[in-house]
Amino acid sequence: MRDYVIITDTNSDLPKQYVKEHNLLLIPQYTTLDGVTYEGAEGIEPSEFYRKMREGSVPQSQAINPAVVEETFRSILSQGNDILYISFSSTLSSSYEVAVMVAKQLEEEFPESQIRVIDSMNVSLSEGLLVHKAWKKKQEGASLDENVQWLEENKMHVCVKFTVDDLHHLQRGGRVSKTTAVVGSILNIKPMMILDNNGQLKPVGTVRTRKKALMALVDYMGEKISGWEEENEIVGIVHGDCLDDARFVAEQVKEKYHIPEVMINDINPSIGVHAGPGALGLLFFGSGRE
């Protein structure tokens, strides 16, 4: 059986140490801020990125570069390996289509090879949790086809709920109206959003304080986790420069749901463009998203 290499993109928000320890390959997503373009989270500290946003800088995100994808894929195929590529949600970026296009081109050049591109239908560390599961199953001896089958059957069971601290970033990205952003900011309203069955962020209500917003994330997990406890040996929390809040949520889910490990990481700039400073998300396996 041919070996295969697991690849994902930097929007999976996996911690750098995890990527290194698990020998994963990441394709960079790009962010332009104040005239400078950054690859993934390289070249700028998340705290600096979010500080600039708080001061009024307006960054922009870009999809993966086809030339970089081709170079990475070609290197793996040339070594006689197949590829399992787990992509950022196709409904939020063109990155999936770019990877599929490159895969089709290279399959003609390497007809004996397999390149399987998975549309994760996930974002940030919910995509990362799928990468973790794929790596784990590969270590347990799962073939490429077996891993692909598991991912396709379970990717919609990664539950995601976010809150953001500033509605204006969502307004700029078309997620809420300008009126909603202005009124919500005045009233200290904190929007709650889930990742829906179309792989898109969907508003599901508001709360009046930050503390209530954080506890709403914890309560959402309680609604969804029953029967999926064994799949949650690791759950994810991502944040936009609000580590103390992330640690608070981590302690809550550990205590309430007996979670063995919580992986906390920054929301990388190419996602932080839309979420903004103060965004925080909880990501785990559950019965269903909606």
Q: Which CATH code for domain 157-285?
A: 3.30.1180.10
pLDDT-derived band at 178 (thresholds 50, 70, 90) equals low
State the chain's mean pLDDT as an integer.
91
pLDDT reading at 148 higher than 60: yes
What is the pLDDT, as a whole number, of residue 206?
85
Rounded to whole angstroms, the maximal C-alpha distance in the chain is 60
User: CB 94: neighbour CB atoms within 10 A?
Assistant: 13
Q: What is the pLDDT of residues 249-290, one digit of tens each?
A: 999 999 999 999 999 999 999 999 888 899 999 999 999 998
Domain coordinates of the chain in residue numbers? Answer: 4-154, 157-285
Show Cβ contacts of residue 198 under 8 Å, excluding neighbours closer than 6 positions. Answer: 91, 121
Task: Give, in order, the Cα–Cα distances in Å from 90 to each of 31, 131, 261, 270.
Answer: 18, 16, 29, 15
Determine contact, residues 282/249, Cβ cutoff 8 Å.
Answer: yes
Nearest to 237 by CA among 265, 270, 271, 200: 265
What is the pLDDT, as a whole number, of residue 201?
81
Q: What is the pLDDT of residues 211-232, one digit of tens each?
A: 999 999 999 999 999 999 999 9
Fold assignment, 4-154: Rossmann fold (3.40.50)
Determine contact, residues 6/134, Cβ cutoff 8 Å.
Answer: yes
Q: How far apart are CA 69 and CA 267, in angstroms?
A: 22
Q: What is the pLDDT of residues 89-119, one digit of tens each?
A: 999 899 999 999 999 999 999 999 999 999 9
Nearest to 71 by CA among 119, 37, 105: 105
Nearest to 133 by CA among 2, 26, 12, 265: 12
Determine contact, residues 127/12, Cβ cutoff 8 Å.
Answer: yes
What is the pLDDT, as a whole number, of residue 205?
83
